[in-house]
Amino acid sequence: MPHTAATTPGTPILRAEGVCKAFESGRQHTQVLDHLSLAIDPGELTLISGPSGCGKSTLLAVLSGLQKVDSGRVYALGSELGQLDLRALENFRLQHTGFVFQGFNLFPALTALEQVELPLTHMGLSRQEARERARHSLEEVGLSHRVKLRPSELSGGEKQRVAIARALAKEPELLFADEPTSALDAANGQTIIDILHTIARTHGTTVLCVSHDPRLVAHADRVLAMEDGRILSDRRPGAGAPKESSP
């Protein structure tokens, strides 16, 4: 069932305005995001690419509310994240966002089905509804035959598909993926890319993906290239020349 974002048509589902973020380590000051502005349209798969250390993962963290900005504003689904207290922010992430990480973040003792059910019970779903939704999501990523297996019994590609099913089962408006294919071989990486693309298309979910994987470009609606904490270019594959960002 397609999921509709809580925004009016033509309104960005995610927006960053003049965002700055720096990290201090002793006397070392590293400016990771430098007055970055960005608007993400609903229902698209957006790829953020760039060299290591350019700020890609930090951008994902501030757009999802996992990290606070030093200055600037971040809006998601019409709310300014910086204005939400800790409890409201946690509830926002639980109800509206899904996350997929490079390291899978699965619990060793839980089966694939239990991994997917867990956040659904925290959302207040009944045990029966959580189980039905979990089974459906695992079926959608091609793992209906592996629901009783624990992470140690799954391949890397299967673990990542469990992680995607866990995010998908929440029916989030926003799905954040941080290097989802980097720990996988070519075949499994391609499977993950296809699944993310299908989620954006069939569910209307806004997928924001940080990746070095060049194969993602062909599946993305939009490709943002980052360097030194800023958006260097913004292009839509097959839609003509890239739009260069002003310094």
What does the pLDDT look like over 10-49, one tens digit per residue?
688 999 999 999 998 888 888 999 999 999 999 999 999 9
pLDDT computed for residue 102 by the predictor = 85
Tell which residue, 33, 51, 179, 159, has the closest CA to residue 108: 159
Give the pLDDT confidence score for residue 244 in this predicted structure. Answer: 52
Q: For 171-187, what is each residue's pLDDT tens digit?
A: 999 999 999 988 888 88
Q: Give me the pLDDT at residue 59, please.
A: 94
Structural domain includes residue 7 = no
Instruction: Report yes or no on 136 lying in a domain.
Output: yes
**For position 213, what pLDDT does the model report?**
83
The CATH number that applies at residue 89 is 3.40.50.300
The yes-or-no verdict on residue 246 having pLDDT over 60 is: no
* pLDDT at 109 exceeding the cut of 70: yes
The average pLDDT across 145-164 equals 94
Q: Is position 8 within any domain?
A: no
The per-residue pLDDT for range 68-106, each reduced to its tens digit, is 999 999 999 989 999 999 999 999 999 999 999 888 889
Residue range 194-236, pLDDT digits in tens: 899 889 889 999 999 998 888 888 888 999 999 999 999 999 9
Residues 208, 20, 69, CA angle at the centre, nearest 5°? 70
| Residue 4: pLDDT band with limits 50, 70, 90 | very low
Distances (CA, A) of 157 to 118, 183, 186, 192: 21, 9, 10, 8
Residue 164 forms part of a structural domain = yes
Q: Does the residue 9 lie in any domain? A: no
Q: Domain count of the chain?
A: 1
**Domain assignment of residue 207, given as a range:** 14-244
- Total-model pTM: 0.88
Q: Evaluate whether residue 1 is within a structural domain.
A: no
